[in-house]
Amino acid sequence: MPYEYRKLTPQEKDEILNLRRERGYPLHGPPHPFRETGFYLISAANFEHLPIMSTPVRRTDFESLLLDHMKQVNAGVLAWVVLPNHYHLLVEVEMLDQISQGLRHLHGTSARAWNMEDAQTGKRQVWYKFSDRMIRNEGHLYKTINYIHVNPVKHGYVTDVYDWPWSSLWMYFDQQGKSWLQDIWKKYPPGGMGEGWDD
């Protein structure tokens, strides 16, 4: 996490940077080790987890932009959630690189617009780099869908997943029904997903 890095001593920072160099990772960004066809959980947060998407209008607009950008880069969107300070997106891609550029464009566009709206141009960083996790199997896929849908409850925004409109839960509710959602929850609970990286 970038916040923990700032608390390290210069020697500890050098050790981490040397280890990242040895492994071929970007020095200050999350590594993206998997590049092949598959399903990926994409997560991105507002810088320092500030609630820059705190208004319903901003979340609605960003949700629409996010889904539109994924369509433009031919990424199949399986699930998503947009929260006041971060989002999660489950996509199917042929190459992860196909969405990297789209996310950079989306983050840049939204950052400029919000900084202008909030009179923060040149004063505020809006996004931190996105992270990705490759989905390993069918069980992991369904656990991830459940994790995405329960995220607003996990972070204390609502007490019932059905009270959060900015997610794919409603798409599944309409297409598969509530009993299907309950069945996959029982069969594939998210458990400890997100611990240490979604706090």
Separation between Cα atoms, residue 7 and residue 182, nearest integer Å: 42
The per-residue DSSP string of 81-102 comes to: EE-SSEEEEEEEES-THHHHHH
Report domain extents, the chain. Answer: 1-30, 32-187
> What is the model's pLDDT at position 20?
52
> What is the model's pLDDT at position 82?
98
Per-residue model confidence as pLDDT tens digits over 14-54? 676 666 555 544 445 554 444 567 899 999 999 999 999 99
Q: How many residues are present in the chain?
A: 199
Per-residue model confidence as pLDDT tens digits over 52-80? 999 999 999 999 999 999 999 889 999 99
* CATH for the 32-187 domain, from 3.50.50.60, 3.30.70.1290, 3.40.30.10, 3.40.630.10: 3.30.70.1290
